C-alpha cells in the first residue's frame, strides 16, 4: 500500500523506516578524527624540528611550558562547561513549565545579548569590574556558552510529543516523574547537541583568558603575536585547533552513546 492510500477509520497507522537507523558509533567516526589529529601534531613537530629556535622560542614552546598551558586550558574549559550544564539545563527545564513561560522571552533575550557581546569584551568588562584571574575567566566563559545549552534544553523538552506526556499522565505518573522518565530522556539528543556547541565555544574563547592572567594556550598565541615569533604563534594555534577537534570528537562519541535507543 502506498503512502497516499487510505487507511480504515480508527485503525492506527504504522510506518516503518525505509532505511535502517544509522549505527551509533562506527569504526570510521572512532578512528578517523584521532588519525587526522595525530597527523596534524606530527606535522607541527616536523615543522618545529627543522627550525633554529632562539632563546625566547625555546622557552615558550618546550614540553614543560606547553603541557602547563595545555592543562590550564583544559581546566578553564572543564570548569566552565560543568557550570554551564549545571546552570543551563535545570534553568531550561524550568522555563518550559507553564508557570514560568512569561519570563522566558526576557531571559532568552538576556542570554542572546550575552552571546552577542565579543568574548574579549566580556573578559575586559569583568577584569575592570571584579578583577583578573582564573575564576573571572570562568565567569566569562560561562556567560558566552550559556545560550546554546539553555536554548537546546528548552527546545528539546518543549518539542516532546504531547501524546506521550498525556499517556504517561494517564498511567498515574506525577509531573516530576513524567519529566524525569519521559521528557528529559527524549530531549537528550537536542540537549547534547547544545552541550557540544558550548564545549567548542569554550575551547576557542578560552584562548583569550590569557588577558585576564588565567593562562591557557592563548598565552602562546599572544606571545607569538607580541614578540613576532611565528613558531610560537603557529604552535599555540595548532594546539588550540587540535584540542577543539578532540573535544568535539569526544562529545560526538558521548552524544551517540547517550542517545536513547530508537531516537
Of 122, 138, 20, the C-alpha closest to 75 is 138
Task: Label residue 12 by pLDDT band (50, 70, 90).
Answer: very low
Instruction: Tell me the domain boundaries of the chain.
Output: 60-258
Which of residues 21 and 52 earns the better pLDDT score?
52
pLDDT score for 114: 66
Rounded-to-integer distance, Cα 178 and Cα 175, Å: 5
Whether the CB-CB separation of 141 and 86 falls below 8 Å is answered with: no
Please tell me the pTM assigned to this model: 0.81
pLDDT range class, residue 6, cuts 50, 70, 90 = very low
Residue 236 confidence (pLDDT): 95
Which residues, 6 or more positions from 222, have their beta carbon under 8 angstroms from its beta carbon? 210, 211
Q: 60-258 — its CATH code?
A: 1.10.3720.10
Alpha-carbon torsion 45, 202, 59, 227, what sign?
positive
The mean pLDDT of the chain is 83
Amino acid at each position: 500500500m502506498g503512502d497516499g492510500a487510505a487507511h480504515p477509520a480508527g485503525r492506527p497507522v504504522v510506518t516503518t523506516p525505509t532505511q535502517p537507523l544509522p549505527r551509533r558509533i562506527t569504526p570510521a567516526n572512532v578512528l578517523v578524527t584521532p588519525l587526522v589529529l595525530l597527523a596534524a601534531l606530527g606535522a607541527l613537530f616536523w615543522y618545529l624540528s627543522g627550525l633554529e629556535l632562539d632563546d625566547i622560542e625555546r622557552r615558550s614552546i618546550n614540553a614543560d611550558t606547553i603541557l602547563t598551558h595545555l592543562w590550564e586550558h583544559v581546566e578553564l574549559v572543564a570548569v566552565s562547561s560543568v557550570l554551564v550544564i549545571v546552570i543551563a539545563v535545570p534553568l531550561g527545564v524550568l522555563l518550559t513549565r507553564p508557570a514560568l513561560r512569561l519570563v522566558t522571552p526576557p531571559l532568552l533575550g538576556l542570554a542572546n545579548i550575552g552571546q552577542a557581546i565579543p568574548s574579549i569584551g566580556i573578559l575586559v568588562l569583568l577584569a575592570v569590574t571584579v578583577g583578573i584571574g582564573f575564576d573571572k575567566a570562568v565567569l566569562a566563559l560561562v556567560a558566552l556558552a550559556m545560550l546554546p545549552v539553555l536554548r537546546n534544553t528548552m527546545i528539546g523538552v518543549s518539542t516532546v510529543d504531547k501524546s506521550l506526556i498525556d499517556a504517561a499522565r494517564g498511567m498515574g505518573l506525577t509531573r516530576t516523574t513524567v519529566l524525569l522518565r519521559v521528557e528529559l530522556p527524549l530531549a537528550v539528543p537536542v540537549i547534547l547537541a547544545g552541550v557540544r556547541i558550548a564545549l567548542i565555544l569554550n575551547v576557542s574563547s578560552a584562548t583569550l583568558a590569557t588577558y585576564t592572567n588565567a593562562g591557557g594556550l592563548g598565552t602562546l598565541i599572544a606571545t607569538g603575536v607580541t614578540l613576532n615569533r611565528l613558531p610560537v604563534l603557529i604552535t599555540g594555534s595548532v594546539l588550540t585547533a587540535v584540542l577543539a577537534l578532540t573535544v568535539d570528537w569526544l562529545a560526538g562519541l558521548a552524544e551517540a552513546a547517550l542517545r536513547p535507543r530508537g531516537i
